[in-house]
């Protein structure tokens, strides 16, 4: 039978040890407490299974369902949830306490690419031997690194010294959606007022002279 990885998570039928159970989730059966023998009989009459879904309840909560179909739906739901999860990779970038500008720019370029791809970046300075004396210099380097990436990343953890490593964690910034530009409808130009020529063409009487 498929779904073997999910089998055994629930007690079914005669595996249920309680003397009485609460039946839920069935419109045809009244939701209440039943003796176990009666619950098993109702499941058998419907050619289904009595499945214990809340074993720690008092009394345990059960449903009368097709257990094989129940496992299939459960596995399908888990698969859908897993597909929705975004896998985030963590890329490591290593510096020395006296990294030169050429090496720094090279690693900065790689970090930008990682962040644009949605990966996190773990940058650290490794202090070898007496170079631990330059730990302040390593901290300055990591803070400069974070500052140069401020358009691409946010700082999850400031530089922390653990043993011979000083580490900083960066996460990619979420890209903001471009704002929609709302254009106002053009206002139609006002129609020019046309003078009534009939008034101007009227002859003036003697009183108007």
Percent of the chain having pLDDT more than 70?
A: 78
Domain that holds residue 53: 13-82
Are 75 and 95 members of one domain?
A: no
Are 97 and 153 members of one domain?
A: yes
Encode pLDDT of 63-78 as tens digits: 999 999 988 888 898 8
Are 95 and 166 members of one domain?
A: yes
In angstroms, the CA 205 to CA 198 distance is 15
Query: At a CB cut-off of 8 Å and minimum separation 6, what does 173 contact?
Result: 115, 151, 152, 153, 154
Model confidence band, residue 122 (pLDDT cutoffs 50, 70, 90): very high
Query: Average pLDDT in the 174-189 region?
Result: 56
What local confidence, expressed as pLDDT, does residue 1 receive? 41
Answer whether residue 31 shows pLDDT above 70: yes
What local confidence, expressed as pLDDT, does residue 209 receive? 38
pTM of the model: 0.45
3-state secondary structure of 175: coil
What local confidence, expressed as pLDDT, does residue 181 receive? 53
Domain assignment present for residue 47? The answer is yes
Domain assignment present for residue 160? The answer is yes
Mean pLDDT of the chain: 82
Are 72 and 97 members of one domain?
A: no
Query: At a CB cut-off of 8 Å and minimum separation 6, what does 67 contact?
Result: 10, 12, 48, 49, 51
What local confidence, expressed as pLDDT, does residue 81 receive? 82
Are 95 and 74 members of one domain?
A: no
Domain assignment present for residue 107? The answer is yes
Are 104 and 71 members of one domain?
A: no
What local confidence, expressed as pLDDT, does residue 204 receive? 47
Are 63 and 96 members of one domain?
A: no
Encode pLDDT of 130-160 as tens digits: 777 778 888 999 999 999 999 999 999 899 9
Nearest to 67 by CA among 41, 46, 98: 46
Domain assignment present for residue 101? The answer is yes
18: CATH: 3.10.20.80
Model confidence band, residue 194 (pLDDT cutoffs 50, 70, 90): low
136: CATH: 3.30.110.10
Are 102 and 162 members of one domain?
A: yes
**Which of 82, 114, 132 finishes a domain?**
82
3-state secondary structure of 12: strand
Instruction: Name the residue with tokens 């499941």.
Output: 43
Establish how many alpha carbons lie within 13 A of residue 144's alpha carbon, considering only the half-sphere containing its beta carbon: 15
Domain assignment present for residue 182? The answer is no
Whether 152 contacts 101, CB under 8 Å:
no
Are 72 and 107 members of one domain?
A: no
Higher per-residue pLDDT: 138 or 202 = 138
Domain assignment present for residue 195? The answer is no
Task: Identify the weakest region by mean pLDDT among 48-62, 89-103, 125-139, 144-158.
Answer: 125-139
Domain assignment present for residue 209? The answer is no
Domain assignment present for residue 2? The answer is no
Answer whether residue 111 shows pLDDT above 80: yes
């Amino acid at each position: 039978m498929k779904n073997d990885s999910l089998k055994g998570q629930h007690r079914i039928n005669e595996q249920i040890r309680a003397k009485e159970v609460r039946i839920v989730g069935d419109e045809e059966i009244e939701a209440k407490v039943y003796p176990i023998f009666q619950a098993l009989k109702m499941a058998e009459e419907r050619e289904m299974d009595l499945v214990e879904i809340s074993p720690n309840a008092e009394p345990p909560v059960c449903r009368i369902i097709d257990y094989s179909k129940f496992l299939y739906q459960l596995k399908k739901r888990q698969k859908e949830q897993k597909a929705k999860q975004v896998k985030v990779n963590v890329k490591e970038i290593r510096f020395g306490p006296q990294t030169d500008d050429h090496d720094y720019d090279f690693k900065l370029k790689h970090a930008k690419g990682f962040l644009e791809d949605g990966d996190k970046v773990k940058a650290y300075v490794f202090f070898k031997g007496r170079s631990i004396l330059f730990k302040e210099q390593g901290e300055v380097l990591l803070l400069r690194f974070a500052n140069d990436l401020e358009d691409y990343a946010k700082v999850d953890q400031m530089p922390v010294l653990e043993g011979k490593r000083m580490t900083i964690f960066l996460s990619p910034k979420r890209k903001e959606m471009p704002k929609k530009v709302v254009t106002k409808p053009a206002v139609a130009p006002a129609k020019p007022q046309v003078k009534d020529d009939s008034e101007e063409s009227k002859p003036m009487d003697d009183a108007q002279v």
